[in-house]
Structure 1
Amino acid sequence: MKSSRVMLLLLIELLLSVLLVWYLTGQIADEKGRADTAERNLKLANANINDMQVRQRDVAALDAKYTKELADAHENINQLERDVAAGRKRLQISARCPANGATSATSVDDGTTPGLTDAAERDYFTLRERIETSGKMIAGLQDYIKTQCLR
């Protein structure tokens, strides 16, 4: 009777051991699955971080390029304005001088040459600067869209 009891206890212990091994194997598989998922998520996050860093460098390079071009354009316009003011260059426009109302015996209606008023000349340089600024901004945004948004 004792030997059958011992056998029964051994059988129960063996069964419990098998159940424990089966349970622990399932737990190990679950933990491995979680670890694999975490590793995939970490790799994805690292890839996203690397992509964002590359994009930030690209955007910084675009910004530097167009900022320099814009500064160069502003300097060219300012230099042109200084040259016009100093008389080294002239603004030429296609215009007609209207008759000043006086009649003369000569064939020249008005003895003055066409030209811009001081206010019109300032407006010319302001408009030219705004056109350059807008053009550079648009080119920069288009380049940003092509290189960053559409990839």
Structure 2
Amino acid sequence: MTVKAWIVVGVELLLSAMLVYILLGEVNKQSARADKAASLAQQRQDTINDMQVRQRDVAALDAKFTGELADAKFTIEKLHDDVAAGRKRLQLNARCPSSDKTPGTPGVDDAGTARLTDAAQRDYFTLRERIEISNKQLNGLQQYIREQCQNY
């Protein structure tokens, strides 16, 4: 082989080496892009999984306190029905108004027992129900804050 042939072979080898170097660099760039895309996809999937877990937890919490609220309402309605039917009585600290008897004259009034007016009795049950609703809502919100907000 002549010197000229050796130079041509050397130039061809040099060009081939440069081409291989350029191609390897491009492969590394594409590999880095693929790794970055895979990492981003994994982060997004982790976020989705976390959101699904939180949604399930919140749904369970909601179901728990909705059930407790329904139970409380049922108990109040049952008590109301029992009072209305005379099976139970509301105990009050009340006094019967004194009659026009003169002081010091012992006797028993002919009036019935002390009791609430119908409006006061309705208001009692309404207030009791609202107190239960408020307590259940407050307990549910406090548990939501403890379990969901403070853990993340």
TM-score range, shorter chain: 0.7 to 0.9
Distance of 1:112 and 1:103 partners within structure 2:
17
**Contiguous gaps of at least 5 residues in structure 1:** none
Alignment of 1:1-151 (within 5 A): 3-99=2-98, 102-104=100-102, 106-107=105-106, 111-151=111-151
> Cα distance 1:134–1:150, how it changes in 2: closer, same or farther (>3 A)?
same
> Cα distance 1:24–1:109, how it changes in 2: closer, same or farther (>3 A)?
farther
Distance of 2:48 and 2:106 partners within structure 1:
77
Distance of 1:107 and 1:118 partners within structure 2:
31
1:103–1:109 contact (8 Å) kept in structure 2 = no
TM-score of the two chains, using structure 2 as the length reference: 0.86
TM-score of the two chains, using structure 1 as the length reference: 0.87
Using CA pairs under 8 Å that are at least 6 residues apart, name the structure with larger relative contact order, 1 or 2. 2
**Contiguous gaps of at least 5 residues in structure 2:** none
CA offsets 1:55-113 (integer angstroms, 9 cap, x no match): 1111111111111110010000000000000000011111233446x344634696453
- Matched-pair identity in %: 54
Q: CA RMSD in A?
A: 2.1
> Cα distance 1:112–1:4, how it changes in 2: closer, same or farther (>3 A)?
same
Q: What amino acid is aligned across from residue 38 of structure 2 in structure 1?
A: E
Residue 19 of structure 1: how far off its partner (Å): 1.2
Q: What amino acid is aligned across from residue 122 of structure 2 in structure 1?
A: R
Residue 120 of structure 1: how far off its partner (Å): 0.8
How many corresponding residue pairs?
149
